[in-house]
């Protein structure tokens, strides 16, 4: 059952989401060739604790780390480790916190130095599809409208849209109803209402949409070992329209990126 949130609850959720956003912004300054993903995990863990919150991923279903870090052909749920990040890699960093009893869950795929043009385009289109989905978070529309918008934008470029992994409702639990697939039919699924809070997270592959689940119970890679991209925002529906709880602005400040992509979805509340 979908748990619609009050404005007061959404204010608390925004605090949680913004702490994740700040964590990703802090990490953006550190992500470069030669570092290890385990180093990033330690930085994030300490940063979250220093801000009075708990890492939402640590111990979740037995997950051993505070971040999911998934390089290149890894789609999601990668374990931080001692392998060195290299020039030309891409790195999906997925972070969650628990603050004031609510979960924030937010991801960004980083370019390490100069990446291949086709990979850079994959990241660009995947992020664009995230905002195409957010545009559909309007009272009276349906979850399938979000899904269809993401799928249509990515498949017109020939990319594979992962089926087995989806976005989700968000609140006091990390995974609540409804599921938010990145593929689907317009006009299908649950009706969108005020107070809905969801994590929209396109997971898009350069090649096939098919993925492989590894024996560690977590790691997911593309079946053809081609790169994958993953971006995630926390979104609420307020007064009939989509409002971002999370933001990439801290990442952009760290990387020197100028963007107004979030402007249509900003609201002080």
- Specify binding-site residues: 77, 94, 105, 168, 175, 201, 232
DSSP assigned state of 152: H
Angle between helices 143-155 and 117-135 (to 10 degrees): 160
d(CA 152, CA 145): 11
Do 30 and 48 contact (CB within 8 A), yes or no?
A: no
Point out the annotated binding site for a divalent metal cation.
94, 105, 168, 201, 232
Give CA–CA dist 69/90, Å, rounded: 10
Residues within the annotated binding site for substrate? 77, 175
Which of 131, 87, 128 is closest to 110 using CA atoms? Answer: 87
If we measure between CA atoms, which residue out of 214, 248, 204, 227 comes closest to residue 89?
A: 227
Apex 90 CA angle, 86 and 94, nearest 5: 120
Give φ, ψ of 91 to 5 degrees.
-135, 110
Report how far residue 227's alpha carbon sits from residue 4's, in angstroms, rounded to the nearest whole number. 36
Sign of CA dihedral 251, 43, 22, 8: positive
């Amino acid at each position: 059952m979908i748990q619609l949130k009050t404005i007061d609850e959404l204010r608390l959720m925004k605090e949680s989401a913004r702490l994740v956003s700040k964590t990703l912004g802090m990490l953006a300054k550190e992500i470069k060739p030669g570092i290890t993903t385990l180093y990033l995990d330690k930085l994030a863990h300490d940063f979250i604790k220093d801000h009075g919150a708990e890492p939402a991923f640590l111990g979740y279903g037995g997950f051993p780390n505070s971040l999911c870090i998934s390089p290149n052909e890894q789609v999601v749920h990668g374990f931080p480790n001692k392998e060195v990040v290299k020039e030309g890699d891409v790195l999906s960093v997925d972070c969650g916190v628990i603050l004031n009893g609510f979960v924030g869950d937010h991801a960004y795929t980083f370019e390490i130095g100069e990446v291949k043009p086709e990979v850079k385009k994959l990241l660009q289109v995947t992020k664009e599809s995230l905002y195409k989905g957010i545009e559909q978070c309007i009272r009276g529309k349906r979850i399938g409208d979000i899904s269809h918008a993401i799928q249509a934008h990515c498949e017109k470029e020939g990319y594979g849209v992962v089926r087995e992994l989806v976005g989700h409702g968000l609140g006091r639990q990390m995974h609540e109803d409804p599921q938010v697939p990145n593929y689907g039919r317009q006009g299908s699924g649950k009706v969108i209402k005020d107070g809905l809070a969801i994590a929209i997270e396109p997971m898009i592959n350069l090649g096939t949409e098919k993925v492989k689940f590894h024996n560690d119970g977590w790691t997911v890679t593309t079946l053809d070992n081609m790169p994958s991209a993953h971006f995630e925002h926390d979104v609420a529906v307020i007064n009939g329209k989509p409002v971002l709880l999370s933001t990439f602005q801290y990442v952009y400040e760290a990387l020197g990126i100028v963007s107004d992509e979030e402007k249509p979805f900003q609201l002080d509340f």
